[in-house]
Structures are given as C-alpha cells and as structure tokens.
Structure 1
Amino acid sequence: MATVQDKAADPTQPKLGEELLSVTGLQKYFPVRKGLLQRQVGAVQAVDGLDFSVAMGETLSLVGESGCGKTTTGRLLTRLLEPTAGKIIFEGRDITHLSTNQMRPLRRDVQMIFQDPYSSLNPRHTVGTIVGAPFRLQKVKPENGVKRAVQDLLELVGLNPEHYNRYPHEFSGGQRQRIGIARTLALKPKLIVADEPVSALDVSIQAQVVNLLEDLQNELDLTYLLIAHDLSVVRHVSDRVAVMYLGKIVELADRTGLYERPMHPYTVALLSAVPIPDPERRAKRERIRLQGDVPSPLNPPPACRFHTRCWKAQEICKTEEPPLVALKPGHQVACHFPENEDKITVTPIGPIDGAAAAE
C-alpha cells in the first residue's frame, strides 16, 4: 500500500524508543489589552513552563480539567501558535521560532487530529478533496496518483474507498473523525498531536476510534501526543501520562505508576472521579470533591497553583513553588506533600529534564 511508511528505508528516521520531541520551559501568555490605546494590562498564562519529551513510537497523554492549557500546548507543538518562551526541539532541530515558510516542510512530519469532526472538515468539499489536500499543498505526487492514495487511506481507516466523492454531511460523527485521521496520515507524519479525538463522539463509537488509533500506531510506528480529559480512555492507549493543572505539569509518570500509585493530590482527585461500573468497588472507593473553582490563569495563585483547592496545603505551599522532581524512577511530581509516600522507594533526586524522564 502506498500510504504505509517504510521506516527502514530512511536512515534519518529516529528508531523506536529514541527521543523525537523535547520541550523545555515552554510558555504561552496571551496579552490582555484595554482602553482606547489597547495597552496591555495583564496576560493569560495559558502554558507556563512545561518540560517533557516524547520518544519515537510512544503515546504521551496530557490530561487535566478544561482550561488547564492542554490544547494550547498541542497548538504550540504544531506551531499553530507562537511560543512566548521556551524551546521545542524536533528530531534534534530547534523549531521554536521558525517562520511559516520554514515550517512548511515540517508540516509533513507533525500533524494534528482536531477535536470536532463536524467543524474540522469543509462541508463544501468531497472526501477525496479533503483527504487529498495535503498532497496538493505539499506538492507530493503519490506513485499511483492522488485518487488511489486517498482510497488507500480511506480503506486504512475503515471507510469504503468508493465513498471518495461523498460529502462530510453524508457521514456519521465517527466516520467524519476517521476522515480527519485519514487526512492526517496522508503525508506519513512522524508525530501526531491528537486533540481530544473522541470527546465529541458518542460513547458507543469512542472505543472504535481509540482502537483504530492504536492499530494505526502498531502498523505504522506512529508517535502520539494525546490530549484528553477522559482518564479511562487515556489508561488504555498511553505509555506515559502528564497531568496538567493551570498551565503546569504537576505529575508525569508511566501509565501503571500513575494509575496505581498517584502521588499528586490533584491526580488522586481526578482518578477518584473516574466512573466504576462495579457497585461494590464503587462503594469502597473514596470520592474526593475539590472545593471551589479553578483559579483564573489571568491571576494564578502564587507558589503551588493547586494550594487553593488542596486538602493537604500548608503554609509552604503558598510561598514556595514545588519543583517537578523524580520521587521514583520515571515518576515526577510537583508537590511538597505527595500522596502514597509509603510507596516511595527512591530518595528525591531533584529536578530533571524531560529527556532524562524518558530514559
């Protein structure tokens, strides 16, 4: 099939497990302006100092409440937004402040799956035009022609290749998301940022799309940065999970460590809200209800941003920001009083960067 990428044929292609993306100190502040002269009176701190890395072939998930900066992070990584500060390294190349023309060749390697399949597809274009658009924009000529390549892509994502001439309104929500996924795969990207790819779909078909993403990853050696708020979905597809709160990562760990031994109080609270279908298990679990609303990113709390809602907060939480440190191998937490301390077997080693966390 023309759309299946032959990884072994490209010697410059990163090998599975090697670092593909590295982010250091990433920030994005949106200025707030008022008055006739539009003077800046503040800034919305949407993303404030992120450090993480993504290895080739893995799935790293960003989770957290609405407004914590997940989608902004995804748009920064795909360079749909210009970072305020920090550094984005992709395949050893600094892409933080590349111009639109300089980014154009990299668009083939970094693609995005959007949240809403209803608004991300042009209703005036046929499926063939939509999925074939990347070939025309990047001036790529598939070996057997654009139409054949598009039909192969439709078949790859579980759609009928004969629907090439249909319009988006003739498909269901799940089928539209598959069309969006096919468009994303057209140029054989190395990194896919999936912005809540199933949150707008019916529960009955969410599992189908999630399984499709997993199958495509196994078949094409794809690398995902998955943005989500549904922790039950994240658990099944992630290798590592980063929990965000008000623009910062508060916990970063592998899937098993985070779900079985969460250490940040915010993570514990999030996991306590995951529905459990077994009434007996549900009755035994303590449901943690956080008090108050998420503070405004326009004026976030000082020091630890979670201290206004945390049941373990003490005076130090209001005056000193906890660094993101490794309390266990590969398990980083930003908290002065972490949960599950009795299960910590390694002495804190101080702040580490995203690359070291992935090793």
Structure 2
Amino acid sequence: MSENLLEVTGLQKHFPITKGLFKRQVGAVRAVDGIDLNVQAGETLGLVGESGCGKSTAGRLFTRILEPTGGKIVFEGEDISRKSVTQMRPLRRDVQMIFQDPYSSLNPRHTVGSIISAPLQIQNIPTPQGLKKAVQELLELVGLNPEHYNRYPHEFSGGQRQRIGIARALALRPKLIVADEPVSALDVSIQAQVVNLLEDLQSEFDLTYVFIAHDLSVVRHISDRVAVMYLGKVMEIAHRDDLYKNPRHPYTVALMSAVPVPDPVRRDRGQRNRVLLTGDVPSPINPPSGCRFRTRCWKAQDICATEEPPLVTRLDDPDSHLTACHFPVVDDEAVAGRTPAETPA
C-alpha cells in the first residue's frame, strides 16, 4: 500500500449569506460540510456526484485556492490548512490544478509562451537552456507544436486550450494535480485524447491525480479509486471495479443506473431498470438532519433522520470499501439496478 500523499479530515467550506446594509450574516451555503478522504501517492482518485454536490469546491480546497472553514488538509505529512499565501507559495510547486473551462482559465491578453512560463518565473525555477526552450519542450510534451509559443489562446480549439492548461500545470513538475472536470467541455473524440494524455503523463512523471467529473464512464476508465459526493458529504469510497460492480450506497446505485447503455438490445429487453429518485435535491443552506440523502432514499427509516451514518467499512465488504449508510444496498439490488419495489417476484 502506498503512503498517503494527501489526507483530508472533517473538511468544511461554508459560504456566508449576508443581508442588509451592514452585511449581517443570516445563513451559510454548506458547499463542503465535513469530508474525510485520502489520496495515495501515484494513484488517481475520482470524485463524482451530481451538479452542486461540492466537487469543484472540494478540489479548490485541496489546492488551497479557497480557504477552508474548518477541518484539516495534510499534504506529505504537513498540515497546510492554515498556511498563509506566502507560506503556500513553495508548496505550489507540488500542488497544481487543471481547470474546467480551458478558455476562461487562460489570460486572452497573454501568449501561450507567457502563460506557461509564468509558474517558472514566479517560482524562480532555473532553465539551463532558456525559458523559451523549456516552454517549447512542455508544448511538445502535451502534443502541441513548439511554433505555438507566440500564439494567443483564442487561436486554438478547445482541446488544444486544455492541453495548454495541462502544460502550465506540468511546468513545475508537481506531485499532485487536481483536475476539475478537464474533459467536460470537449467533444468525445477530444476527451479520449486528453484522458490518454493524462494517463501517459502520470506514468512518465509519477503524478498523483484527483480527477473531478460527472461522466462516470470517464471516471471508471482513468481512476483507481472513486469517491461519491452528495450535498457536501462523501457517501461512498471504493476501488473502481468494486464500486461499479457492487455499489453499496443507494445514491451510488441511482447514479450507476443513470449511465447510458450503448446496447439497444439490452435496453429494449428491459434488462436494466432506472432507479428514479423522488423529490428535489435539498438546499445546501438547510440540509436534512441525519443522512443527507434520506429525503430521496427508498431505504430510509427513522434512524436516518436522527443519526448521521459514519463513513465506515461494512462486515460484508472489503476493507477498502467505505459506505456512509445505515442500510447499505445488498448485492441483488446493486447488480440489477432496481429498487425493492421494482424487483420482480
């Protein structure tokens, strides 16, 4: 087992809601409300969940782009959750981020050369063969032409712009890269190219990824372990194959049943039923008591409203399969993708 590169304990991020002339706080949006997870050196941890569950906020907390409200972030055994901007600057060499929108994350007034060379200049990284040569080598590394050095972001396609963002993240040779939905804005064919590029770079430079996405098929392809988030909480963490074959949390089962099946025969014969959740997603301003998912869960009972389930292993699960549920789904339900009411007698 590899040692943990990143450990997160009780991590919280609450955005205050203010009102009136004096900006009096009347509430808070609990975007991330106490998550516990770890990322092992050299692995890819997938972070999935529906829109608004707090995935991107969590990624920005891991890189300390956002200040945490509470909890602890430990990187290589060092607590970085309360470090100032000045104290964080040396750590930026080891922790980088790839952003979701490859155009808005690149300054349109700067050339590709100045964008990629900025981290090297800020961190005073020596370049024996010159700064321009170092940037051109990075461009070649991500599949771009060295002659693109003097071009501007608007002259590139979406996939090429994402490659520029990857080159910028790689400039400092970091240990951990948080990729916030890096392929969601790209065509399917370009998605495959970027995902393959990330995998090749991981093997070449021994990188560690936190891969944030809502496309479950992409996450299954690239991830070693997968963490499922819902309304600011982590509901389940397991190895990729174990999670996709035997999801334990009802929310994970519902997510898996929503993945399109590229097989019309299987779809037409009704061999796979959708788990249709009732009700709306609760507001992160006032989340439900107990289990966050209980208002939409078909297995909810009285204890779910009064006691929040801990993220722990179950007796019938491998040690690496963590589930935050009082009544985890049994194998028959998980495999069939059916609720008990939908299962035929």
Q: What TM-score range do you get, normalising by the shorter chain?
A: over 0.9
Which residue does the alignment assign to 1:118? Answer: 103
Matches within 5 A, 1:132-281: 132-281=117-266
Which residue does the alignment assign to 1:354? Answer: none
How many equivalent pairs are there?
A: 329
How far is the alpha carbon of 1:174 from its aligned partner? Answer: 0.2
State the distance in 1 between where 2:286 and 2:294 align.
14
Q: Tell me the amino acid that sits aligned with residue 330 of structure 1.
A: S
Please, which of 292, 298, 301 is the counterpart of residue 279 of structure 2?
A: 292
Please, which of 291, 296, 310 is the counterpart of residue 309 of structure 1?
A: 296
Q: Identity of counterpart residues, as a percentage?
A: 74
Query: Is 2:67 aligned against 1:46?
Result: no
State the distance in 1 between where 2:3 and 2:140 align.
30
Aligned alpha-carbon RMSD (Å): 1.4
State the distance in 2 between where 1:332 and 1:273 align.
22
TM-score by length of 1: 0.89
How far is the alpha carbon of 1:207 from its aligned partner? Answer: 0.8
State the distance in 2 between where 1:122 and 1:131 align.
11
Cα-to-partner distance string for 1:13-65 (whole Å, 9 max, x where unaligned) = xxx92211111111111111112222111111111111111111000011001
State the distance in 1 between where 2:97 and 2:19 align.
33
State the distance in 2 between where 1:159 and 1:247 align.
38
How far is the alpha carbon of 1:325 from its aligned partner? Answer: 1.0
State the distance in 2 between where 1:292 and 1:147 align.
56
5+ residue gaps, structure 1, are: 1-15, 345-359
Cα-to-partner distance string for 1:214-250 (whole Å, 9 max, x where unaligned) = 1110111100011111100000000000000000000
Structure 2 SS opposite 1:338 = coil
Please, which of 129, 140, 144 is the counterpart of residue 114 of structure 2?
A: 129
Cα-to-partner distance string for 1:129-186 (whole Å, 9 max, x where unaligned) = 1111111111112121111111110000011111111111111000000000000000
Please, which of 92, 95, 101 is the counterpart of residue 86 of structure 2?
A: 101
Retained in 1: the 8 A contact 2:103–2:161?
yes
Query: Is 2:320 aligned against 1:330?
Result: yes
State the distance in 2 between where 1:317 and 1:24 align.
23
5+ residue gaps, structure 2, are: 335-345
How far is the alpha carbon of 1:342 from its aligned partner? Answer: 7.0
